[in-house]
């Protein structure tokens, strides 16, 4: 079917559309209503009972997981073995009093036993959260204080760039990474635990959004509804089949990993993931792709830029997909050298993936530099401060229809949940975008909106221009206070470029109000372990504030940038 026909059908008959996907998965009891609309969100597959872990491990055969360590070590797990591993974790949890609705915190790196812990928790209806292994102690404490787990699963260490990295928390169950294969074999020798039936709208997990200051934000996601939504998106994007392989470079601590993992395994496809840095050694991805021949490489724009920086071309795959940050045109063009089809995928923890290129459908093509088109079932709009629709110019991106992967609350914070809907009466994504016909171009966060002389400027607009300049390998734009203009633009560039040319290019391309105050040439930008540029750190450095570098891939970058700024005063 072509995209336009299916999209229109999904809006005219949403119950029929979503029911067709719900029926592709297994349920213990069927639903009484497909959609029950509420004031701001909806309940999905009401009174239908299922289990996402059961749908992953008990339905399929063949290879489920392939894990790679930095030293080239490879572990392969079948769906049957994954069921037994998950059941073993379920049994340990149950022996410690964990039942449906109890809370399990998982603080562990990319490993087979981490995935078994996720599925083992879901198998008995426990609500789990994942704590990113790269967080500092205060960030970990704040999440645990908010989540109040009944049981904590940890690992003693992880490995990154040939270094052992001790993890700073020991839980009720602690995996010893030095005896990993021994522990896996021991857990394989266990009886199956029967999956617990969970109503579609009961919680599956709580995912904390990134940030190291203030009260953490625990996004509550539903069990069966989220399962159907995630399955649907990966069906539309890649037309996955049993036996297909999907390789990702993401970290289990972030929502992107969960989406890819479940979206792959629910189709009976093989999920390939790795521990450590994807670029260490530099030919690591090349060797994995040559050996595994994946259908899909799901990564980040940052990794594509890194490959471009070192002129590394990966063996060709059918699909390259990116998520998590703006995918600039130059990086997209580079990705096309390594894949038949390229797509960006846009979403947020609170909403799920709602924009991309659904290559499984006919009549739709990618538009370079754009996140894609709304998936069937999703109505998006861009509006101004008064809530009036705008086209061809940046506006606040809002979701005007519910979606199965949409959140059902913020843990312990009803006020924060309602704030998403307070301004426009619809789900405010917090992002700024341009709608060009059906295509969606993400230009930045509304938090990153820079106001210069009364004009709203997005960091993404400026970064897109600068990234097109020959010699630019990476770029970040921030605004800092200015007594006259309100804010002024500061640009950080990785690459060999002339600062004055950068300033002129921005002004000539975007207009005279886009006056750049300063350009700093740096060796690298502050990146989170998930690969995102942390602009807040750049802004705080410029303002002389103390920064918390614990979320960064390498905290030393803060000192490097401070030194570069000092040299240019």
At 13-46, the pLDDT tens digits run 999 999 999 999 999 999 999 999 999 999 999 9
Q: Name the nearest CA neighbour of 111 among 61, 155, 56, 52.
A: 155
Residue 229: C-alpha distances to residues 191, 342, 404, 465 (Å): 31, 22, 5, 35
Catalytic residue among 447, 498, 500, 554: 447
* Least-confidence region, from 222-236, 419-433, 453-467: 453-467
In 411-462, the DSSP E strands lie at: 427-436, 439-445, 450-452, 455-457
Work out the angle at residue 213's Cα, subtended by the Cα atoms of residues 208 and 216, and round it to the nearest 5 degrees.
Answer: 25
Q: What is the pLDDT of residues 482-494, one digit of tens each?
A: 877 778 899 999 9
Work out the angle at residue 373's Cα, subtended by the Cα atoms of residues 367 and 378, and round it to the nearest 5 degrees.
Answer: 175
Within 8 A by CB and 6+ apart from 38, the residues are none
340 is catalytic: no
* Least-confidence region, from 192-201, 286-295, 391-400, 551-560: 551-560
Structure confidence at residue 121 (pLDDT): 98
Structure confidence at residue 331 (pLDDT): 92
Between 121 and 216, the more confident residue is: 121
Task: Give the confidence band of 191 by pLDDT, cuts at 50, 70, 90.
Answer: confident
Q: Contact, 207 vs 216, CB < 8 A?
A: no
**Residue 323: Cβ-neighbour burial (10 angstroms; 0-12, 13-18, 19+):** buried
Q: Check pLDDT > 60 for residue 151.
A: yes
357-394 burial, b for 16+ CB within 10 Å, e for fewer?
bbbbbeebebbebbbbbbbbbbbbbbbeeeeeeeeeeb
Q: Check pLDDT > 60 for residue 212.
A: no
- Average pLDDT over the chain reads 93
Q: What is the mean pLDDT of residues 459-469?
A: 88
Q: What is the mean pLDDT of residues 73-77?
A: 96
Tally Cβ neighbours within 10 Å of residue 523: 9
Between 458 and 529, the more confident residue is: 458
Structure confidence at residue 453 (pLDDT): 65
Paired tokens of 316: 């060709």
Q: Contact, 223 vs 200, CB < 8 A?
A: yes
Q: Contact, 247 vs 42, CB < 8 A?
A: no
Structure confidence at residue 515 (pLDDT): 84
Q: Check pLDDT > 80 for residue 447.
A: no
- The pTM of the full predicted model, rounded to 2 decimals, is 0.88
């Amino acid at each position: 079917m072509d995209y336009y026909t299916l999209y229109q059908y999904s809006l005219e008959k949403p119950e029929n559309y979503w029911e067709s996907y719900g029926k592709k998965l297994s349920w213990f009891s069927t639903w009484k209503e497909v959609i029950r609309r509420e004031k701001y969100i909806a309940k999905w597959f009401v009174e239908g009972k299922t289990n996402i872990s059961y749908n992953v491990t008990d339905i399929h055969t063949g290879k489920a997981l392939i894990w790679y360590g930095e030293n080239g070590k490879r572990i392969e797990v079948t769906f049957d073995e994954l069921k037994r591993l998950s059941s073993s974790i379920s049994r340990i949890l149950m022996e410690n009093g964990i039942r449906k609705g109890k809370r399990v915190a998982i603080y562990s790196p990319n490993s087979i036993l981490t995935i078994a812990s996720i599925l083992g928790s879901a198998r008995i209806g426990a609500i789990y959260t994942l704590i990113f292994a790269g967080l500092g102690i205060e960030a970990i404490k704040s999440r645990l204080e908010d989540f109040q787990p009944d049981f904590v699963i940890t690992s003693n260490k992880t490995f990154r760039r040939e270094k052992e990295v001790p993890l700073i928390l020991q839980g009720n169950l602690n995996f010893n990474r030095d005896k990993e294969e021994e522990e896996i074999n021991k857990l394989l020798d266990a009886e199956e635990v029967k999956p617990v039936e969970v109503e579609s709208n009961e919680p599956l997990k709580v995912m904390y959004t990134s940030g190291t200051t203030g009260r953490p934000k625990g996004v509550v996601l539903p069990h069966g509804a989220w399962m159907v939504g995630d399955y649907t998106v990966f069906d539309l994007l890649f037309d996955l089949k049993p036996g297909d392989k999907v390789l990702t470079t993401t970290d289990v601590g972030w929502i992107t990993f969960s989406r890819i993992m479940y979206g792959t395994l629910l189709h009976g496809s093989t999920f390939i993931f790795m521990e450590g840095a994807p670029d260490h050694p530099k030919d690591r991805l090349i060797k994995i792709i040559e050996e595994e021949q994946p259908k899909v490489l799901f990564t980040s724009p940052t990794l594509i830029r890194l490959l471009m920086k070192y002129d590394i071309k990966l063996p060709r795959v059918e699909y390259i997909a990116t998520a998590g940050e703006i995918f600039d045109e130059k990086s997209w063009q580079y990705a096309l050298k390594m894949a038949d089809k390229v797509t960006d995928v846009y979403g947020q923890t609170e909403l799920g993936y709602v924009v991309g290129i659904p290559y499984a459908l006919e009549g739709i093509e990618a538009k370079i530099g754009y996140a894609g088109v709304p998936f069937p079932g999703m109505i998006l709009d861009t509006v101004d401060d008064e809530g009036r629709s705008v086209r061809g110019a940046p506006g606040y991106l809002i979701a005007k229809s519910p979606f199965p992967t949409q959140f059902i609350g913020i843990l312990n914070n009803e006020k924060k949940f309602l704030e998403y809907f307070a301004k426009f009466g619809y789900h405010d994504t917090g992002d700024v975008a341009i709608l060009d016909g059906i295509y969606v171009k993400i230009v930045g966060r509304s938090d990153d909106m820079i106001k210069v002389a009364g004009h709203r400027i997005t960091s993404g607009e400026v970064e897109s221009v600068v990234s097109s300049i020959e010699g630019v390998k990476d770029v970040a734009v921030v605004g800092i206070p200015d007594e006259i203009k309100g804010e002024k633009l500061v640009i950080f560039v990785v690459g060999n470029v002339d600062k004055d040319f950068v300033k002129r290019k921005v002004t000539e391309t975007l207009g005279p109000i886009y006056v750049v105050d300063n350009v700093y040439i740096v060796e690298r930008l502050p990146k989170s372990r998930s690969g995102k540029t942390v602009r807040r750190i750049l802004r705080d450095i410029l303002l002389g504030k103390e920064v918390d570098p614990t979320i960064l891939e390498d905290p030393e970058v803060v000192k490097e940038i401070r030194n570069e700024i000092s040299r240019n005063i």
